[in-house]
Amino acid sequence: MLTVLSVEVRKLNRSLALVLAATAPALIAVFVFSMLLRSKTPSEWDMWIGSGMAIWAYFMMPLCVAALTALVAHMEHGPRSWDHLRALPVPRWTLYAAKAVCVIALVLIMSAAVLGATIGAVALGGLIKPEAAAMGVLDLTGYAWSMARMAAAALLMIAIQFWTAIRFASFVPGLALGIGGTFFAVVATSARQGVFMPWQMPVNILATEAWRVQTALTLGGGLGLVVLAAAVLHLARREGR
């Protein structure tokens, strides 16, 4: 499994998936940076980091997961390399599991990058415009913990997107699902049932109600693992690709 995983990591070298992983967190940082430059009064660190995390949870993360899974899957669909990979003397489930682990690792790295880039942007903005510099305590451990839980809650969404992206050679079903899921998650925020939507799980982590956080971790994380395992098994047993 480790060998297959190392091969998957090497495939990412100079790939569009890596470009996306670097660009998306940078965009959030740029947004927060420009917000701070427009601000006339200082705000708490909590407000700035919270803004970055909210943008990440609501829009960027679901859209990035849709794009990331499509790009990673298309790396094999494009050159039609599944036949070559599946004909090799390696257990087939490892091919899919390694890919899934890669996607999850990239989401974790992107989450960390969002946090790091947002802190950097706020700090830089404070230097350029001292009257708007962030004040209060920077609870780095707390934010990192929230980001980690957000990534864990996103597992169900990642599993569904991954399954779709690998199952269909065209990137259209995966992207349509991702864009649709993100849209309905935003629309469904006000509905009570909306919190159970897979694309809403990362947002639940930011909620003040404990049950929503618990739901996100149990349903998003726990069920996500089960769905991911089912996806890997199903894909490995399929004939053709």
Partner 1 sequence: MTVPDHSVYGVLGRNGAGKTTTMKMLTGLLRPSSGVARVCGVDVVKDRRGAARKIGALLEAHGFYGHLSGRENLDLTRRLLGLATTEVDRVLDVVDMTRDGGRRVGDYSLGMRQRLGIARALLGSPPVLMLDEPTNGLDPDGIADMRHFLRELPIRAGATVLLSSHLLGEIEQTATHVGVIHQGRLVVEGELARLKAELAPEIGLRVDDPARARAVLRSRDLTLSDDADGLVAQLRPGDNHDQVCAALNRDLVAAGVAVFSIGARAPSLEGVYRAASAVSRRPVSEPV
| Cβ at position 79, least distance to partner 1 in Å | 5
| Cβ at position 239, least distance to partner 1 in Å | 6
Any contact of residue 80 with partner 1 (CB under 8 A)? Answer: yes
Near partner 1 by CB under 8 A, which window of 58-66, 84-92, 114-122, 138-146? Answer: 84-92
Any contact of residue 234 with partner 1 (CB under 8 A)? Answer: no
Nearer to partner 1, 91 or 136 (CB): 91
Nearer to partner 1, 38 or 80 (CB): 80
What mask of x and - would describe binding to partner 1 in positions 179 to 218, judged by CB under 8 A?
A: ----------------------------------------
| Cβ at position 90, least distance to partner 1 in Å | 6
Interacting residues with partner 1 between 11 and 50 (CB under 8 A): 11, 13-15
146, 188 contact by CB (below 8 A): no
CA distance 218 to 216: 6
Q: How many residues belong to the site for partner 1 (CB under 8 A)?
A: 27
Near partner 1 by CB under 8 A, which window of 8-16, 66-74, 150-158, 195-203? Answer: 8-16
Partners of 135 in beta bridges:
44
Any contact of residue 136 with partner 1 (CB under 8 A)? Answer: no
